């Protein structure tokens, strides 16, 4: 093995956060490189090419805010932009700022070892190449480690089968084919709605239904885009002031209104774009069971009104959690898909999967003949990408060991025992719980300032203090425990039935739910206080 390539900073991952991170580091004049496992940039938007893939943040609140030039020239074509356009956007950003030359693709980091004598990280890639860097910024993405179920005979299936995250780059022929989709989270709901009228037969294998409400997407004309451009300062200020990082503003006073007044408000919100129904709703729905139940009953009636077969409608209504208490998927004609003759809901709670066969899926009720199986089965969220790198800190302990029962961090950026490793969109930050790019800009800016602070003062080592880390974990737990979703089964609470240690009942405090403004205040205070809680030496 030759000499490692040496850099001031290695950034891992060229997704939404890695792209902005390298921009900031290069602007500072630091010698930085991005190592990206995939063969091109884009992260989530490079990988998730499944039909129907789009974000459910308003496009103009999702784009980067840091460059007026970029804001002035980019035209978002839809209110909620789709994967191909999002990938074009990220490529455009990289080209505009000439960032590609700082990125290396096909560079999967497999091991990272802290060298206490030199105060550097040594990184080893899957191809054997080695790097050494004073600082490492992990921009690994919260939803970048897909997980599969483990049913008997999965490998025997002779048709095409793939996880939505690994949707092939070449077009997949679906017309005239019998397709099975496993999973009804945000991804499954998008795929199902999009392909229902394209395929010969669609079988939806649903274990638990999810609440879902209309996205209410639409085009953005040249004129509207011009108005948006004029309003960008206001838009980003609104996002910064809201707990979720959106323009939607929560209201309070659920019980001050009559039931009729509440229904009138919900009628309006149900017809409004994006997450309005969730985050412009009464804040009480997240804390007060009776309030949440009333809203859930309202949404259930909406589902009943949209699904022709009352038996199917009841199967699509969640009973185990209230509306908005797991990450809410937004949909376009999802419920109407079940009114089609070629679509069948296979309720796995009635008829569980027994095994896969060469020609399909055998449940306890029937054998379903399939040509294509789509796994929309989700991710080892937030900590999964960290667990898959062998990261060894000061005493040789791995990060996966430290986080076995759940992550422990200081403001979601640092974790004790792993100096000079900074996480952007990391566990226990607000990235998982709010409009992603708004939160990553906070994270990247904060990490960049900290690196600059350390570099200017000649500090070689930056590590969270033990007490400070414990205080942050306590804050994360407090914020989590106040909310009704603390009892729900979703990736917000660390649940994934396909990952050991993440099954039901083993709550992991994965994200900070205190809201983006509170988070920003906290990290700003820490910086203003000379990076309180961080040992700089």
Work out whether the CA dihedral 296, 299, 305, 308 comes out positive or negative.
Answer: negative
448 within 8 A of 25, measured Cβ to Cβ: yes
Give the nearer residue to ligand NAP in terms of CB position, either 362 or 377. Answer: 377
Report the residue from 18, 43, 378, 419 that binds ligand NAP according to the rule CB under 6 A.
Answer: 378
Is 203 one of the binding residues for ligand NAP (CB under 6 A)? Answer: no
What minimum distance in Å lies between the beta carbon of 326 and ligand NAP?
A: 7
Of 83, 121, 127, the residue nearest 105 (C-alpha): 127
- And the tokens for 297? 């009953």
Nearer to ligand NAP, 121 or 286 (CB): 286
Helix 516-528, helix 436-456: angle, nearest 10: 10
- Is residue 436 a contact point for ligand NAP (CB under 6 A)? no
Which of the ranges 100-108, 176-184, 356-364, 410-418 carries the binding residues for ligand NAP, by CB under 6 A?
176-184
Nearest-approach distance from CB 151 to ligand NAP, in angstroms: 7
- Which CB, 397 or 503, lies closer to ligand NAP? 503
Contact status: 431 vs ligand NAP (CB under 6 A): no
Tell me how far, at minimum, the Cβ of 349 lies from ligand NAP, in Å.
Answer: 9
What residues contact residue 255 under an 8 Å CB cut-off, 6+ apart?
284, 291
Q: Does 188 bind ligand NAP (CB under 6 A)?
A: yes
- What residues between 309 and 368 interact with ligand NAP by CB under 6 A? 327, 348
Site size toward ligand NAP (CB under 6 A) is 24
Q: How far apart are CA 312 and CA 105, in angstroms?
A: 46
Residue nearer to ligand NAP on the CB measure, 246 or 418: 246
Using rule CB under 6 A, residue 59 touches ligand NAP: no
Distance (Å, whole) CA 53 – CA 79? 14
Terminal CA-to-CA distance of the chain, rounded, Å? 31
Cβ at position 45, least distance to ligand NAP in Å: 11
393 vs 406, beta carbon nearer ligand NAP: 406
DSSP state letters, 174-216: -BT-EEEEE--SHHHHHHHHHHTTTBSEEEEEESS----EE--
Among 179, 182, 195, 391, the residue binding ligand NAP under the rule CB under 6 A is 182
Among 15, 51, 183, 243, binds ligand NAP (CB under 6 A): 183
The rounded distance, in Å, linking the Cα atoms of 211 and 326 is: 8
Site string for ligand NAP, 462-501 (x = CB under 6 A): -----------------------------x-----xx---
C-beta of 39: minimal distance to ligand NAP in Å?
A: 22
Q: Which is nearer to ligand NAP, 402 or 502 (CB)?
A: 502
**HEC sequence for 48-90:** CCCCCCECCCCHHHHCCCCCHHHHHHCCCCECCCEHHHHHHHH
Strand ranges for 350-503 from DSSP E: 353-357, 360-363, 367-369, 372-375, 390-392, 421-423, 462-464
Least CB distance to ligand NAP at residue 38 (A): 18
- Neighbouring C-beta atoms of residue 456, cutoff 10 Å: 8
Q: Is residue 76 involved in binding ligand NAP (CB under 6 A)?
A: no
Binding part of the chain for ligand NAP, among 50-58, 253-261, 463-471, 514-522 by CB under 6 A, reads 50-58
Please, what is the minimum distance in Å from the beta carbon of residue 217 to ligand NAP?
11
Residues 315 and 295: their CA atoms lie apart, in Å, by 18
Question: Could you give the angle at which helices 222-241 and 516-528 cross, rounded to 10 degrees?
Answer: 60
Query: Beta-carbon neighbour count of residue 150 at 10 Å?
Result: 8
Q: In the stretch 224-263, what mask flags binding to ligand NAP with x, by CB under 6 A?
A: ----------------------------------------
What x/- string results for residues 133 through 172 when contact with ligand NAP is judged by CB under 6 A? ----------x-----x-----------------------
Residue 101 vs residues 34, 37, 452: alpha-carbon distances, Å: 9, 16, 22
- Determine the interface stretch with ligand NAP among 183-191, 229-237, 459-467, 473-481 (rule: CB under 6 A): 183-191
> Shortest CA distance to 371 belongs to which of 359, 381, 355, 354?
359
Judged by beta carbon, residue 190 or residue 383, the one nearer ligand NAP is 190
CB of 215 to ligand NAP, least distance (A): 8
Q: Which is nearer to ligand NAP, 131 or 513 (CB)?
A: 513
Contact between 146 and 166 under an 8 Å Cβ cutoff? The reply is: yes
Would you say 177 and 199 are in contact if contact means Cβ atoms under 8 Å apart?
yes
Binding region for ligand NAP (CB under 6 A) out of 101-109, 177-185, 195-203, 413-421: 177-185
- Does 51 engage in binding with ligand NAP (CB under 6 A)? no
From the list 75, 108, 166, 207, which residue makes contact with ligand NAP (rule: CB under 6 A)? 207
Give the containing element (helix H, strand E) for 384.
helix 384-387
Paired sense of beta strands 120-125 and 109-115, if any: antiparallel
Pairing of strands 534-536, 462-464: antiparallel
* Contact by Cβ (8 Å): 80, 56: yes
Per the CB < 8 A criterion, the answer to whether 369 and 359 are in contact is yes
> Quick check: 9 binds ligand NAP (CB under 6 A)?
no
Q: Considering beta carbons, is residue 135 or 379 the nearer one to ligand NAP? A: 379
Residue nearest ligand NAP, CB atom distance = 185
416 binds ligand NAP (CB under 6 A): no
From the CB of 499, what's the least distance to ligand NAP, in Å? 10
Residues of the shown chain interacting with ligand NAP in the complex, contacts defined by CB under 6 A: 54-56, 143, 149, 182-188, 190, 207-208, 327, 348, 376-379, 491, 497-498
């Amino acid at each position: 093995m030759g000499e490692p390539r040496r850099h001031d900073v290695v950034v891992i991952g060229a997704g939404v956060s890695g792209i902005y991170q390298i921009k900031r580091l290069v602007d500072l004049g630091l010698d930085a490189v991005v190592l990206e496992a995939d063969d091109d940039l884009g992260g989530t938007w490079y990988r998730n090419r499944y039909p129907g893939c789009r974000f459910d943040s308003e496009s103009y609140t999702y784009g980067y805010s840091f460059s007026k030039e970029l804001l002035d020239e980019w035209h978002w074509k839809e209110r909620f932009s789709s994967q191909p356009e999002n990938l074009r956007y990220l490529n455009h950003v990289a080209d505009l700022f000439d960032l590609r030359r700082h990125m290396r693709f096909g560079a999967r980091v497999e091991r990272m070892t802290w060298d206490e004598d030199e105060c550097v990280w040594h990184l080893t890639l899957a191809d054997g190449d080695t790097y050494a860097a004073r600082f490492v910024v992990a921009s690994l993405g919260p939803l970048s480690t897909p997980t599969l179920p483990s049913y008997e005979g999965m490998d025997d299936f002779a048709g095409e089968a793939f996880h939505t995250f690994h949707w092939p780059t070449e077009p997949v022929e679906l017309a005239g084919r019998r397709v099975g989709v496993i999973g009804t989270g945000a991804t499954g709901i998008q795929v199902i709605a999009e392909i229902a009228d394209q395929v010969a037969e669609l079988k939806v294998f649903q274990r638990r239904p999810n609440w879902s409400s209309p996205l209410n997407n639409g085009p953005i004309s040249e004129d509207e885009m011009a108005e948006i451009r004029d309003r960008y300062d206001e838009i980003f200020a609104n996002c910064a002031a809201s707990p979720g990082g959106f323009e939607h503003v929560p209201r309070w006073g659920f019980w001050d209104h009559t039931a009729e007044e509440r229904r009138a408000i919900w009628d309006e919100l149900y017809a409004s774009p994006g997450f309005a129904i969730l985050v412009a709703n009464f804040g009480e729905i997240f804390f007060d069971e009776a309030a949440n139940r009333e809203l859930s009953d309202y949404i259930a009636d909406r589902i009943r009104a949209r699904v022709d077969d009352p038996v199917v409608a009841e199967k699509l209504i969640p009973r185990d959690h209230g509306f908005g208490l797991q990450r809410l998927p937004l949909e376009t004609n999802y419920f109407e898909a079940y009114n089609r003759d070629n679509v069948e809901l296979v309720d796995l709670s009635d008829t569980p999967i027994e095994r896969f066969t060469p020609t399909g899926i055998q449940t306890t009720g029937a054998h379903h003949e399939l040509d294509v199986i789509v796994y929309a089965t989700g991710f080892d969220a937030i900590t999964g990408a960290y667990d898959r790198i062998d990261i060894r800190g000061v005493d040789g302990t791995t990060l996966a060991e430290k986080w076995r029962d759940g992550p422990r961090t200081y403001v979601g950026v640092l974790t004790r025992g792993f100096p000079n490793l900074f996480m952007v969109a990391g566990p226990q930050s607000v990235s998982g719980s709010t409009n992603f790019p708004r939160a990553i800009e906070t994270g990247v800016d904060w990490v960049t300032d900290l690196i600059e602070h350390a570099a200017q003062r000649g500090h070689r080592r930056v590590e969270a203090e033990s007490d400070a880390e414990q205080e942050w974990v306590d804050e994360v737990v407090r914020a989590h425990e106040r909310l009704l979703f603390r009892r729900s089964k979703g990736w917000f609470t660390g649940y994934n039935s396909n990952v050991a240690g993440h099954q039901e009942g083993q709550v992991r405090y994965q994200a900070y739910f205190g809201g983006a403004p509170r988070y920003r205040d906290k990290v700003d205070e820490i910086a203003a206080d000379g990076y309180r809680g961080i040992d700089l030496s």
